[in-house]
């Protein structure tokens, strides 16, 4: 990354770290930005899968598995930290299952298979009343432990969740940065570009694709577990909704599939534009930024904003 990009990234990171005290630990703004950071995690985890050429329309399956797994574990006495980690493992396992089941599918067929997979889990959650609470869901999920400073009365209990959301995004970005610079990244790129040729060269696609599914599912499920501990309720139409399947796709596509910071930056920008500026004043149009993002990608930046900036930088050089 060029020096200017590193400086800009560092300044944004510093601003996010300092946001709680700068905002006076305002609970609403902490909740809003922490949710945007969670969408950044989801967009980056979707990006990991797309880097291997696997298009998912069903990321809500992993979010929901992580959310329900973490909620049930917490309600049965496990600490929230361990419960969220357990939910992450459950999401990774669920991702590997659909990866195995759809190992020979590509493109639209794979996308539809993942969409059906998410709907299957939503139907299970709606009808398994004894475990999931059915359509009513589960309430009373234990809150995340609050930070000792400031007091819960000052932060509204949101500061700890905010910093955990930021740490989760930083961790998935670090993992993807490592992928881009490793043998794993080369293998995933080879599978994306030409799967059959990669197989002839000794890169067997299925194990690598399963690893991409597992990594993507793990961080998506961690985000789901953290989310349900923030809102303290989980229900099928919340965590298995198309909202968690389509928005990460739109955000990653707008930011630039295959770029490191593009999907996360687009997620935070689009979500905050929707929630801060449109939802309070013209709620009927609060989804407009996502539609405009797709139009921009379709007409002006097929590779997303990240690749557009990269081309301009190279052209200027």
pLDDT tens digits, 95-129: 999 999 998 898 899 999 999 999 999 999 999 99
C-alpha to C-alpha distance for 34 and 155, rounded to whole angstroms: 13
Per-residue model confidence as pLDDT tens digits over 281-316: 898 888 999 999 999 998 888 888 876 665 555 444
Better-predicted residue by pLDDT, 2 or 206 = 206
Q: What is the pLDDT of residue 81?
A: 92
Structure tokens at 295: 């139009």
Q: What is the pLDDT of residue 160?
A: 85
Q: What is the pLDDT of residue 314?
A: 47
Q: What is the pLDDT of residue 316?
A: 45
Q: What is the pLDDT of residue 99?
A: 96
Per-residue model confidence as pLDDT tens digits over 170-228: 999 999 999 999 999 999 999 999 888 888 878 899 999 999 999 999 999 999 999 99
Q: What is the pLDDT of residue 153?
A: 47
Q: Count of CB atoms within 10 A of residue 129's CB?
A: 11
Q: What is the pTM of this model?
A: 0.94
Q: What pLDDT band is residue 146 in, cutting at 50, 70 and 90?
A: confident
Say which residues have a Cβ less than 8 Å from residue 274's Cβ, sequence separation at least 6. 286, 287, 288, 289, 290
Per-residue model confidence as pLDDT tens digits over 12-68: 999 999 998 888 888 899 999 999 999 999 999 999 999 999 999 999 999 999 999
Q: What pLDDT band is residue 147 in, cutting at 50, 70 and 90?
A: low
Q: Does the domain formed by 3-316 have CATH 1.10.3470?
A: yes
Q: What is the pLDDT of residue 138?
A: 97
Q: What is the pLDDT of residue 55?
A: 93
Better-predicted residue by pLDDT, 33 or 159 = 33
Q: What is the pLDDT of residue 317?
A: 45
C-alpha to C-alpha distance for 142 and 265, rounded to whole angstroms: 30
C-alpha to C-alpha distance for 190 and 199, rounded to whole angstroms: 9
pLDDT of 259 higher than 50: yes
Say which residues have a Cβ less than 8 Å from residue 163's Cβ, sequence separation at least 6. 20, 147
Asked whether the beta carbons of 100 and 117 are under 8 A apart, the reply is no
Task: Say whether 191 sits in a helix, a strand or coil.
Answer: helix
Q: What is the pLDDT of residue 144?
A: 86
- In this structure, of 99-103, 145-149, 259-263, the range with the lowest mean pLDDT score is 145-149
By CB atoms closer than 10 A (0-12, 13-18, 19+), residue 257 is buried
Rounded to 5 degrees, what angle do the CA atoms 139, 144, 145 make?
Answer: 135
């Amino acid at each position: 990354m060029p020096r200017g990009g590193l400086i800009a990234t560092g300044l944004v990171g510093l601003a996010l770290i300092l946001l709680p005290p700068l905002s006076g630990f305002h609970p609403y703004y902490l909740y809003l930005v922490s949710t945007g950071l969670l969408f950044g995690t989801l967009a980056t985890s979707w990006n990991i899968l797309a880097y291997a050429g696997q298009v998912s329309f069903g990321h809500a399956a992993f979010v929901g598995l992580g959310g329900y797994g973490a909620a049930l574990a917490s309600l049965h006495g496990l600490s929230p930290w361990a419960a969220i980690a357990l939910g992450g493992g459950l999401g990774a396992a669920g991702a590997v299952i659909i990866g195995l089941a759809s190992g020979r599918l590509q493109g639209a067929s794979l996308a539809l298979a993942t969409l059906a997979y998410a709907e299957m889990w939503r139907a299970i959650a709606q009808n398994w009343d004894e475990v999931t609470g059915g359509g009513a869901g589960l309430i009373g999920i234990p809150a995340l432990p609050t930070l000792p400073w400031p007091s819960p009365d000052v932060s509204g209990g949101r500061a700890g969740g905010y910093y955990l959301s930021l740490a989760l995004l930083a961790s998935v970005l670090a993992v993807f940065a490592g992928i881009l610079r490793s043998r794993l990244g080369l293998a995933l790129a080879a599978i994306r570009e030409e799967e059959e040729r990669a197989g002839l060269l000794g890169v067997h696609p299925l194990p690598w694709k399963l690893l991409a599914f597992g990594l993507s599912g793990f961080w998506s499920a961690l985000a789901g577990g953290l989310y349900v501990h923030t809102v303290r309720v989980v229900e099928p139409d919340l965590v298995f909704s198309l909202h968690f399947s389509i928005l990460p796709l739109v955000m990653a596509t707008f930011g630039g599939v295959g770029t490191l910071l593009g999907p996360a930056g687009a997620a935070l920008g689009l979500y905050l534009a929707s929630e801060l500026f449109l939802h309070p004043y013209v709620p009927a149009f609060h989804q407009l930024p996502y539609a405009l993002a797709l139009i921009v990608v379709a007409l002006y930046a097929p590779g997303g904003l990240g690749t557009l900036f990269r081309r301009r930088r190279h052209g200027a050089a």
